[in-house]
Amino acid sequence: MQNNQQPVALVTGSAKRLGRKMVETLHHAGYRVIIHCNHSVNAANELADNLNQQRANSAKVVSVNLLDQKQITALAEQSLVCFGRLDVLVNNASSFYPTPIAQATQEHWHDLFGSNVKAPYFLCQALVPELTKRQGVIVNMVDIHAEKPLQDHSIYCMAKAALKMMTKSLARELAPTIRVNGIAPGAILWPSDNALELTEHDKAAILQQVPLNRLGDPMDIAQTLLFLVQAPYITGQIIAVDGGRSLGGANKA
């Protein structure tokens, strides 16, 4: 029989990659999980099936387009229907691609700001009453490039900078009942989109900027998330999980 006292976590964009690992880690820690996806429905359903085999009725899938305001509201409503409560919101869904200023469009702006700032903000707004009731937690996936811009990614970097300020602002506004923190990943996974594929030279150049001199692992992000969820006296903080890359400079040869 399902224990209705078990906490529930919603992770947006969690069918694959970092989101998937965060869902798996929260589930292993005893959370019931809501897997949000847009296009990756098959991967989301497969993940939910695997988790439900481990613990019956512990994972559900909600598919919505976060660029549609009505669907953001629907995600909040459907998430509360899934298990009748919500304790943790992780804003992980994000578009990411270069926008050199000469080629940048209104559509790029709408997509990058919509997925990285607008959707997280209004999803938070919709879920504040429930999270207040549960003394819940919000964790936003920021980026080390919210502070140090990535070449040709100005719109994305601006959006992540806005998400960083949103994290700090909401931490003040929603205290003391809801804690709000952020995680800023560095080089954890190489891009999976063929259009963003890096050469071996590019990868080596990036790793030269990482003092720990290696790529991170999705579990590094998932463990940081679990720590923040379980750290009752931390709010308004952005934790860089980047192997020291945000320190600046390159490794010595």
Active-site annotation, residues:
156
* Residue pair 128/174 in contact by the 8 Å Cβ criterion: yes
User: How far apart, in whole angstroms, are the C-alpha atoms of residue 184 and residue 116?
Assistant: 13
Six-digit token string for 228: 């923040």
Six-digit token string for 135: 């003394």
Cβ neighbors of 1 (< 8 A, separation 6 or more) are none
- What is the side-by-side strand order in the sheet with 137-141? 59-63, 32-37, 8-11, 88-91, 137-141, 179-185, 238-241
User: How far apart, in whole angstroms, are the C-alpha atoms of residue 111 and residue 242?
Assistant: 25
Phi/psi for 185 (5° steps) reads -70, 150
Q: Identify residue 251 by its one-letter amino acid code.
A: N
Cα–Cα distance list, 50 to 23, 45, 54, 56 (Å)? 12, 9, 7, 10
